[in-house]
Amino acid sequence: MRLNRLPVLPPAVCLLPTDYMAIEIEKKYRLTKKQHESVRRRLPEIGAKLQGKEFEENTLYEGKGLSVGRSVLRLRRVGDSAILTYKKRLPTSSSIKHQREDETQVDDPGALNTILAALGFTPALVYEKRRETWVWGKAEIVIDELPFGLFMEIEGKERDIIAVETKLAVKNLKAENLTYPQLTLENGKKSRGIIQARFKDARRL
């Protein structure tokens, strides 16, 4: 009996989770009031373009596999929209941080919160933020005001981060190695079982 030979098919391509993994490269700085004013003045002078201002409410969850400062699950609300983000910091001794960042738009934050609770993830801390976003070349610069201080973050390739820092020429800039969740743990107050850092006034922007 003669058997018909089946065609040889190429091996299937198996996409691993890392094939979709985005790496965020950024450096954070803690600003004095004087430095904050200097940065906001210098950005348009070096040709940076203001993209917008927004008020954020960030909720961090606790649960299996999550650890503040190493890996976090964050729900960020801005107006009527929301974004769910997973971040995992990669080991480095540099002040320029590399971390995995995956995020998706969320249509119904309340429903998502219910789903996360059913999966064992519960809100652990909340922090509010007022943010200005600027763009210079391929780098993104954000100026942040939180209840516990003023900050700047520059995101892009390492050479772009260094270029922006050099262009701004702000004296005595100090890198901040702690994340906003870690700073919230240090500076926030516990309310209803959740550590929170909220503005005392109702001003959003």
3-state secondary structure string across 174-194: EECCCCHHHHHHHHCEEECCE
Range list of β-strands (E), the chain = 23-31, 49-62, 71-78, 81-89, 97-106, 122-136, 139-146, 149-155, 174-175, 189-191, 194-197
- CA 67 to chain CA centroid, Å, is 15
pLDDT of residue 71: 86
pLDDT for 2: 47
Q: Are 154 and 141 in contact (CB under 8 A)?
A: yes
Q: Which residues of the chain have pLDDT under 50?
A: 1-4, 6-7, 9, 12-15, 17-18
3-state secondary structure (DSSP) of residue 35 = helix
State the DSSP code for 76: E
Tokens of 149: 């201080």
pTM assigned to the model: 0.84
β-pair type (194-197, 122-136) = parallel
Find out whether 179 and 148 touch, Cβ atoms under 8 Å.
no
Q: What is d(CA 130, CA 139) in angstroms, rounded to the nearest whole number? A: 20
| Structure tokens, 179 | 């994340």
